[in-house]
Structure 1
Amino acid sequence: MFSKTKKIRSIFILYWFLLTYIIAALIWWFIALNQQNEQATIFKLQQLKPDQPGYIEQVDRIQEAEHRKAAQYIGEGATFFLLIAAGAVFVFRAVRRQLKFSQEQQHFMMALTHELKTPIAVAKLNLETLQKRKLDETQQQRLIQTTLQEANRLNSLCNNMLLSSQIESVNFKMSSEEINFSEIVSECVQDFKIRFPQRNILMQVQEDIFCNGDRLLLQIATNNLIDNAIKYSPKEATVTVVLEEDKNHIILQVKDEGKGIADEEKKKVFAKFYRVGNAATKGAKGTGLGLYLTRRILEQHNANISVTDNVPSGSIFTVSLQSATQKN
């Protein structure tokens, strides 16, 4: 990946060198042709005799021809320059986009490597401890619980990676059925409470809210939002999950009490691989796929997602989804 980025940069530098050479050559040829035109005009004027009939008319014709040639050179030069400039802008944007994507992939691979190695190492250490040492029941349960948490992390990561490749396929089709969204959200919250018993997760879920969609995809989207709130909140902070129905619209809100998201980054957080700040040096775990997948899943369900500031600190992710009664 690093060599690919270096190769793209080298091609980019070579391209700008050749572009500079072409523009310089274009200017040189324009100057040369213009000088040649002026010299040809001077030579023709020198061949005229002032006392011959029609001298003034011939001078006018020669000068007019010179002006036409000069205008032709200017027009052709300007046309070539604009074409070159348009091509340069197009290539510049394409290469910059490719470089940005390559950098995001680099950050993703670094984060992915960390995300995979950490739970594997923790699970291996816990299992080796259980195998080699005689522990009391409390200690055994604690190690087993930690191992299950890391296994769930691996499972979520694998689901996100597989879904990311599937959802971008033109042949991707989601299932659609009437589901109890209240049950999905409640199950997700309860699962996180079990996985993170030390975290304060509040749930305000209105019962029996139904929508049409894919149960598994909506479960993944909800898990990603809650997981994101936990990742970017202090351990002592509260994460609040609210689900309610208002005028045939389902509103899901996940509130955290973290540092929040700057206004200029609120839309970027839903881009693929994007993470606030430098993904390579970030302390919070993640690959930059969670919010991207959440947005894509909600798009499949004709739903909207937005992020606003939480007061006094943190962020609120709000999902607006059509209820089953509205679709019917």
Structure 2
Amino acid sequence: MKKTLVIFYAIIIYAVAELIWWGYMLVHLNPSRKGMILGEGCMFVTVFLIGAYFLHKSLNKETKLREQQKNFLLSVTHELKSPLASIKILLQTIQKRNLTKEQILNFIDKSLLDVERLDDMVENMLLASKIDNRSYSFPKAKFNLSVLVDSIVNRLQISKCDCNQQIINAEIEPKIEITGDKFALTSVVTNLVENAVKYSSPCETVNVKLFEKDGKVYFQVADHGIGIADSEKPRIFDKFYRVGSEDTRNTKGTGLGLFIVKQVLDKHQASIKVKDNRPAGSVFEVVFGLT
């Protein structure tokens, strides 16, 4: 891509130099038409440079997209290898060592967690692909959102501390029902809660709230993690985009989660906004209109 840009800039410089040279020659041969030649030349140069500017923007955009896709492939490769390696080690341990029934069940539980992690990632990629090529129809039906959120929170509840404390604190108002695509909204809830856990420090509490107010349903996920700079908030829902801080680059992810969240919520006429948490971290708030 760099070679292409160098050739592009060389052609632009050559074309402008040739234009100036031919303009000079025309003025020299027809001094009486100097005003017309200069006017038309300036107009041509202006149109030419505007076209070159937009072409330059297009090439830069393509370069960034290629870089994001490259990072995506690297991230996916790492995301796949990590749980697969863990599952392999656990199964080999069960196979080669004389373990108690309790130890075997513990290893199986850990393996199943890694399988669920792989399943979530594959579902994310499939859903993102279907959304991108507009082949997903978002079938809607009435369902209990409270039960859905509660089941996802329980599944993602992870202990990172020696004291085995629960790091996801959930306040879920019971019997909240909405009409929507349960499969796609499962991905929304999972991605928001997983992100909050992922970008938080060990033992930091993630707060999840679901409640109804003034005829609307509110779903909030608040963390005390690294936070998101104001300059990056408008871009976090772009496909493949990941926050550019060093902390985020060291955190696993494909850049598809928030893209899926925004696309799914748009199809449900729901809104999402992100704001700063205090003293640190981020709050994502989703608002559904009751139908």
TM-score band by shorter chain is over 0.9
User: Alpha carbons of 1:192 and 1:182: their partners in 2 closer, same or farther (altered >3 Å)?
Assistant: same
> Conserved in 2, the CA contact under 8 Å of 1:126 and 1:143?
yes
Residue 34 (str. 1) matches residue 1 (str. 2): no
Shift of 1:281: 8.1
Q: How does 1:116-127 map onto structure 2 within 5 Å?
A: 116-127=80-91
Q: Which has the larger radius of gyration?
A: 1
The letter for the 1-side match of 2:61 is R
Instruction: Find the partner of 2:228 among 247, 257, 261.
Output: 261
User: Alpha carbons of 1:280 and 1:316: their partners in 2 closer, same or farther (altered >3 Å)?
Assistant: closer
Residue 190 (str. 1) matches residue 154 (str. 2): yes
> Conserved in 2, the CA contact under 8 Å of 1:111 and 1:279?
no
Instruction: Find the partner of 1:112 among 76, 91, 115.
Output: 76
TM-score w.r.t. length of structure 1: 0.84
Determine the structure 2 residue equivalent to 1:248. Answer: 215
* Identity across the alignment (%): 36
State how far apart, in whole Å, the 2-side matches of 1:151 and 1:100 are: 32
User: Alpha carbons of 1:320 and 1:81: their partners in 2 closer, same or farther (altered >3 Å)?
Assistant: same
Determine the structure 2 residue equivalent to 1:276. Answer: 243
Determine the structure 1 residue equivalent to 2:256. Answer: 289
Determine the structure 1 residue equivalent to 2:168. Answer: 201
State how far apart, in whole Å, the 2-side matches of 1:173 and 1:186 are: 26
For structure 2, the residue ranges without an aligned partner over 5 or more in a row are: none
State how far apart, in whole Å, the 1-side matches of 2:52 and 2:76 are: 35
Determine the structure 2 residue equivalent to 1:5. Answer: none
State how far apart, in whole Å, the 1-side matches of 2:247 and 2:150 are: 34
> RMSD of the alignment, in Å?
1.8
State how far apart, in whole Å, the 2-side matches of 1:104 and 1:237 are: 30
The letter for the 1-side match of 2:171 is Q
Instruction: Give the 3-state SS of the residue equivalent to 2:30 in structure 1.
Output: helix
> Conserved in 1, the CA contact under 8 Å of 2:184 and 2:264?
yes
Residue 210 (str. 1) matches residue 177 (str. 2): yes
The letter for the 1-side match of 2:57 is R
For structure 1, the residue ranges without an aligned partner over 5 or more in a row are: 1-7, 39-65
Which piece of structure 1 moves more, 270-279 or 106-115? 270-279
Determine the structure 1 residue equivalent to 2:143. Answer: 179
User: Alpha carbons of 1:223 and 1:10: their partners in 2 closer, same or farther (altered >3 Å)?
Assistant: same
> Conserved in 2, the CA contact under 8 Å of 1:199 and 1:235?
no
Instruction: Give the 3-state SS of the residue equivalent to 1:264 in structure 2.
Output: coil
TM-score w.r.t. length of structure 2: 0.94
State how far apart, in whole Å, the 1-side matches of 2:246 and 2:61 are: 18
The letter for the 1-side match of 2:84 is I
Determine the structure 2 residue equivalent to 1:57. Answer: none
Determine the structure 1 residue equivalent to 2:8. Answer: 15
State how far apart, in whole Å, the 2-side matches of 1:235 and 1:73 are: 71
Instruction: Give the 3-state SS of the residue equivalent to 1:270 in structure 2.
Output: coil
Instruction: Give the 3-state SS of the residue equivalent to 2:288 in structure 1.
Output: strand
Which piece of structure 1 moves more, 132-141 or 237-246? 132-141
Instruction: Give the 3-state SS of the residue equivalent to 1:274 in structure 2.
Output: coil
Determine the structure 1 residue equivalent to 2:127. Answer: 163
User: Alpha carbons of 1:198 and 1:110: their partners in 2 closer, same or farther (altered >3 Å)?
Assistant: farther
